């Protein structure tokens, strides 16, 4: 194992960031993952099979047979699998000092377990693929290899899914994927903030310096927005030079403060491709009201964005304050 691998096994913040990049948690069932579960179950002839992702305090299953969709992380055997690089082979959990008292073991439902990590291309174990049964069972190295091959297939499906959901130029979510994430967030009771962001005078940049320079601006602005956002926040490219940033769990003042901080980060960028000309952004921020729809929330943020551009650009306007002085 490399020193880098050792470091990443202990880097929980990096691991969670890698997990959240896939935008997989709390998504509906998808046939590609369900097919993997059926194939693994037919090969191992065991009742319990699941593709599990380990979040901050829970285990969530994208696809599973015989296993709850969500359990506390403290009860997860797969949480132990992600702590190493090899398969976790437990032929009889009742004889293991760490797992004998686990509720799933104590009630007789789980006796044997084989799990392998789901490892991202950058080396983080974001979850595990596992099989389990109610009787003791010795697993062979060949069986562990089979499960590892299926784990690689799971990660390949995640990568393909991410490619389809992410804008090729900027790496941000596509408009469709961002809209899906926004609608999913609105199903929760959490406060939801939405910031729409437009690169000022982008057409002039393209006209004066050419489209390759414009592409550099798009990539760098998107990277700046993403770098200075938290793992649970979500960036999407929703137009040519327009981005959306979803900020769950923040009140209005925190959303506006984050928007202003991002604006300042973009202003501070240096642009040798543009002969030193500054690039700025305008931002419109809105908070979800009651049970309003994604369309209604985006419309209010868009009105605020238009107000920011109309009043001079390079500023943030909060929805509902369009007639007042900008931030």
Q: Which residues are catalytic?
A: 241
CA 246, CA 185: separation in Å to the nearest integer?
Answer: 9
User: Is the separation of the CB atoms in 199 and 271 below 8 Å?
Assistant: no
CA 26, CA 172: separation in Å to the nearest integer?
Answer: 19
- For helices 211-227 and 202-209, give the axis angle rounded to 10 degrees: 140
Listed in sequence order, the DSSP H helices in 63-140 are 78-81, 103-106
Q: Which 3 state secondary structure label does DSSP give 261?
A: helix
Q: Which residues contact 165 (CB under 8 A, 6 or more apart)?
A: 23, 173, 174, 176, 177
As separate numbers, helices (DSSP H) first and strands (DSSP E) second, the chain gives 11, 11
Of the candidates 218, 221, 220, the residue with the CA atom closest to the CA atom of residue 206: 218
């Amino acid at each position: 194992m490399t020193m880098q691998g050792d470091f990443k096994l202990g880097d929980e913040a990096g691991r969670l960031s890698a997990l959240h990049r896939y935008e997989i948690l709390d998504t509906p069932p998808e046939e590609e993952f369900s097919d993997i579960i059926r194939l693994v179950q037919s090969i191992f002839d065991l009742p319990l099979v699941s593709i599990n992702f380990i979040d901050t305090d829970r285990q969530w299953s994208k696809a599973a047979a015989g296993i709850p969709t969500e359990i506390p992380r403290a009860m997860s055997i797969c949480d132990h699998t992600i702590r190493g690089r090899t398969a976790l082979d437990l032929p009889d959990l009742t004889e293991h000092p760490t797992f004998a008292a686990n509720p799933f073991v104590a009630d007789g439902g789980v006796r044997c377990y084989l799990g392998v990590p789901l490892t991202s291309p950058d080396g983080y174990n974001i979850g595990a693929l596992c099989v389990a049964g109610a009787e003791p069972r010795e697993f062979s190295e060949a069986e562990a290899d089979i499960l590892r091959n299926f784990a690689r297939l799971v990660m390949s499906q995640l990568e393909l899914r991410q490619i389809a959901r992410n804008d090729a130029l900027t790496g941000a979510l596509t408009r469709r994927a961002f809209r899906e994430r926004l609608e999913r967030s609105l199903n929760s009771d959490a406060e939801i903030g939405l910031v729409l962001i437009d690169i000022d005078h982008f057409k002039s940049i393209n006209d004066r310096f050419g489209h390759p320079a414009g592409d550099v601006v798009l990539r760098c602005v998107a990277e700046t927005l993403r770098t200075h956002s938290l793992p649970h926040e979500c960036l999407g490219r929703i137009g040519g030079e327009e981005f959306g940033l979803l900020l769950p769990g923040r009140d209005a003042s925190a959303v506006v403060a984050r928007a202003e901080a991002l604006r300042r980060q973009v202003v501070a960028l240096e642009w040798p491709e543009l002969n030193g000309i500054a690039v700025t952004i305008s931002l419109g921020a809105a908070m979800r009201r009651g049970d309003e729809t994604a369309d209604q929330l985006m419309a209010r943020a868009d009105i605020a964005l238009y107000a920011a551009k109309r009043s001079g650009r390079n500023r943030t306007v909060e929805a509902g304050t369009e007639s007042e002085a900008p931030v």
